[in-house]
Structure formats: structure tokens, C-alpha cells
Chain A
């Protein structure tokens, strides 16, 4: 098994209540004015944290958390990979949620951050459970598609393609795509617009 394989992630949880948390909320656009990813972790949820002193990212109890527990449509909106990158730098290694914005989900996968979907009822249960016991580890089992907390086992879903990439460690796709070799040019050569019709 390669170091990059993400069969399961074990870490303490942090709940982010609410649905439709967009990537502008995760990292406001002014922090995208950079040509590197340096320091993005400092600005995760910056405006939300300033607005709400009780924001989970402000609470000592959740320091060192690695599993973010979100609601529906988490990461909708802008395609900015700065959003998952900032969460990753903050310490997030996996996200469990009701559902995910599609580009955000793809970006997380490309960074080796598994995103698992669970039911809305299970989201609310897990957010409360993590809130009650922030020191207890959440196990995000990508391979078996389940999330475990204490003695509770929650069924979860990850689309097959992303799951295979995460479990096999091939989520950084560049190398796999390069392996196609001249088949890339051959495919391009069959497209009439590439040849100018």
C-alpha cells in the first residue's frame, strides 16, 4: 500500500452546522490574491470566525480536529481549490457531510481529502455527538464506506471513481493520465476541430 492511499482517516471531529456553506465562506476571495498556497490555512472561515466568536474554528475544544462534519451542499459555489487547501492546512484530513458541491468534492479528492456523504439525520446526530465529545476520534472508512463514532456505525457513500482513487492512492491523477502516452494525441487527432476541419 502506498503512502498516498486513503483507506481510512481517524481523527477528532469538528462540526460545521448549516447547509449550503459556499467556498467564499470557507475562504473569502481576498485571500486568493497570491501565487502560492502559503498561509491559506490561517484564513479558513476567516470572516465567519470574526462574525461569530462561537464558530467551531474558534473553539479550543476543536483544536487538532481532523474530520469536519458538515451539512448539505458543503463547498458549493466557486471552484477555488484554495478552499479545501485552507482546510487541509488547518488540519482537516477528511470531510463527512450530507452532500457536497461537485467541484469542491473533486478538488478535495485531488488533494487526498476523502468526502463521504451520510444521511441528514446522521449528520445531525454526528454533529451533536462530536459536540458532546470532541476528544473522541471519528473513523472515516473510505474502503468500507462507513463512518464510526464510539459504537455507532453510520453507512456512508463515496462515488466509485473517487473511492478507487483514494483507496489505491492514485488521487493525484497526473501520473496516471500521463501513462496514456500517445493515445492522447491519437484521440486529439480524431477530432475534426483539432485539425481545423
Chain B
């Protein structure tokens, strides 16, 4: 019978069916960080249960670390305490830890694929909602809460209900100046911020087939913003080429055996889906959010919609979005004034993102009064960018070049908006207060669009600068 990747991975990792009817699902790769793991380790100590398979969990620091001076102890005492807890918990339980001195530290969803830890056919869990990022290589990856982090540490398993499966097909070809970020924002606008609740999204079609692995990582990263806890792309030659030679990928003959198994995990052409949604990739423009959730977006050439144009149940959120952002319905999004630019986050902090932003910035200057940060996703990304001189390009243009971390995506370190500042951000959430100021405002967009906004001090169609 024809099967999907979701079916195959689920079946291969099923330990048993639980009395509740849920699946006891084995987790092949568990990633932890300093914010959602300390209470889980504490629970294990209280239960007097050891970490079941320490070699299948990997730890890093990303959420709270400063991206400026990183000497220990951190100036922020609570951040220091959280770093100490993670280091100690990892060491005491035998969990490999990528600390600041490892050369491999970074945002958990950047380093997993980068190190080859993330592989096709795996189940992957992490106490972070953007874990579907790892689905880009053909894994079943999903975010969990701290009680579930406890369960994975204690049992290497989770009690899970299998999601339904939706294929999201993007046909045609993307035009110049349009990126994976624009595709996922367009998908979320079309299907809604809760359209994916209960589903795994399988992204497919010519646009996805042609995407690089880093573009697929950006795409899958924001699945949760459309409500889908899981999102994946079937593994193909692009996947295998990306993984070959990475430190934790199989080496030599083992790699060839792995490719055979990985190919066998992909969905059959005749696999069954609960439903299929289609988008025309050729029609997607550079996207910008105007409101307070990632579904409230428009093409850069469009006007901000009126609440009356929305379905009745969404109108209140539209009004709330307009009020928080200080926008009027009917106003063009292009030209909206920007105070801060943030290029980074698990969505858009990889080397290809930085290259695109640097190409826009090169030879130009950040507009007067605009604070612009570039925060690489990992130490390895930073190193690669510096080897290419991208940091010099950014600095010459007036951007700050920082160390790796989550930074202003969620403002848990010093990188925060102040007051009502308006940010052009390559991150994934424009929720009220998300970037560290309760009244701060966020416009989500691609790295190219964010760089263009930095130079002009306002939302700008980057395609006009590429001519």
C-alpha cells in the first residue's frame, strides 16, 4: 500500500499503542536548550530516574545568551544561572553539550542540520515550537513543552496522537527577489494561523523541489505559525548532498547505506493525504506582515486590508492589529517607517540569508536613526560569514555584527525593542510584545527586504533595488 513519509517514520518509531489510544513514539533525536530544560531535569531528579539514552540528546545555549560580550560570568545573573544549570545538567547526565567554547554553539534549529545531527527518517523533538524546521530534511520533527522534555529524557519516548496529513503544493516558479520566507508567509496567509492545527504539512511541488536545503529550513520553520506542529519536505538529492560530509552524518560506505534507507522513507507518489492545498508560486510577491500574527500579511505592493474585508470571526483581531501597529486600513505597507532592523533567528540566520542581506547592503548605508543588527544563527555561520567578509560588508554599511543566539526574535537577552519602536525583522513572530517591549511593533519579512528597509528607513520593495 502507498505510504507517506509521515506513515513510515511513525510506524518505524512506534514502541506500542498506549492504553489512552495514543502512540508511544520513540524519539530519535532530542535537542535541548537552557530555557525549557531546567525544570525537566529537576523533575528527573525528583523521580530518581536517569536520562534513558544520553547519546540521543544534544544541548546548546541559544535563547538567553548575550550576543555582544560573551565572557563568563554573563553580566545578566539569571542568564548566567541558566547557562550554569544547562552545563551542569548536560555533564551530569552525559548529554553532549555545544557550549560557547565548542565552536559549534548556536540556535538549536540552526546547529542540528548544520552538524548533520538532523537526518531524514528521524523523529526529532525539542522544547521549542520551531522544531518543525528539522522537517526540511525529511524528518518528523515537532515542538514540545517541558513536561514532554522530561518524558523524553526519562524514557526517550512521547505519548503522541498521529496528526492528519496535508500536502501543501507550491506550483510554478518564484520570481526574482522572492524567497522561502515569502512562500511560507503566503502559505500562512492563505491557510490561516490555525489552518494547520491537527495536521502535519508536507510541502511539495516544483517550487519546493527547486529550493536549497537552507530555503527548505526557512519554510518548515514557520509551520507552527500556520498552526501545524509538523512540517516536512521529502528527502531528495538536494538533501543528501547537503548532509554529505557533515560531522554527525554517516561517513563513507555508511553514508551510501543511509541514502538507501532515507530514499525508502520518502512518500510514495500515490500516498494518501487528508487534503491537498495548492498555491501558485509565480504569483507570490515579497511579503510583509502588517499586524499581530504571522497570517496578517500583504505583498509589499499591497495596501493594509480593512477589518470589513476579513471573515467575521477575524475582524476583532484585525482591529486589534491595526490599533497596536498604529496603521490605518487602506494604507500602503510600503513606506512604513522603521526604527530597528533585526536579521537573524532560527528562520533566517543561515549563511545564504546573510549573503542575500549583505548583497543588498553592500556599498550602501543604514538610514539615519535606524538601529540594525545582524545576528548569525551559529558560531559556524559566523565563521563562514567572516571568511567571506560579510561582516565587513555589514559593518561598512552601518549594521552591527553580533555573536550567535536567538537575540531579538524574543528579546530574552539585552537585544530588545524599546517603547513603540517599529522593527523590520527576519524572525517568525509579530506577536504583541514579542521582541521585548510590550508596546514594540514587528514587521516580518525576508532578509533581502529587511536589509532594504534598513537602508531606506522604511518598508521598501527590494526588487526595485535589484534592478
Contact = CB atoms under 8 A, between A and B. Distances in A.
Interface size on A, as a range, is 35 or more
Contact of B257 (A73, A77, A82, A197): A197
A182 to B, nearest CB: 10
B128 interface: yes
Interface in B248-294: 250, 254-255, 257-258, 261, 292-293
Which of A28, A48, A165, A168 has the most chain B CB atoms inside 10 A of its CB? A28
Given A103-B224, A193-B122, A79 B127 contact: yes
A80 B36 contact: yes
A76 B20 contact: no
A97 to B, nearest CB: 11
B115 to A, nearest CB: 14
Interface string A59-94: 000000000000011001111111010000000000
B36 A22 contact: no
A191 interface: yes
Contacts of A73: 193-194, 197, 227
Contacts of A191: 12-13, 26, 28
Interface residues of B, number: 83
Contact of B19 (A24, A107, A170, A197): A170
Contacts of B85: 35
B154 interface: yes
Interface in A149-197: 159-162, 164-165, 168, 170, 172-174, 176-178, 180, 183-184, 187-188, 190-194, 196-197
A51 interface: yes
Nearest to A73: B194
B227 A164 contact: no
A47 interface: yes
B143 A103 contact: yes
A163 B146 CA distance: 20
Interface string B101-143: 0000000000000000001011000011100000000000001
B438 A50 contact: yes
Contact of A103 (B22, B35, B229, B254): B229
B82 interface: yes
A122 interface: no
A173 B151 contact: yes
A183 B193 contact: no
Q: Which 3 A-B pairs have the closest CB atoms?
A: A81-B145, A107-B145, A110-B147
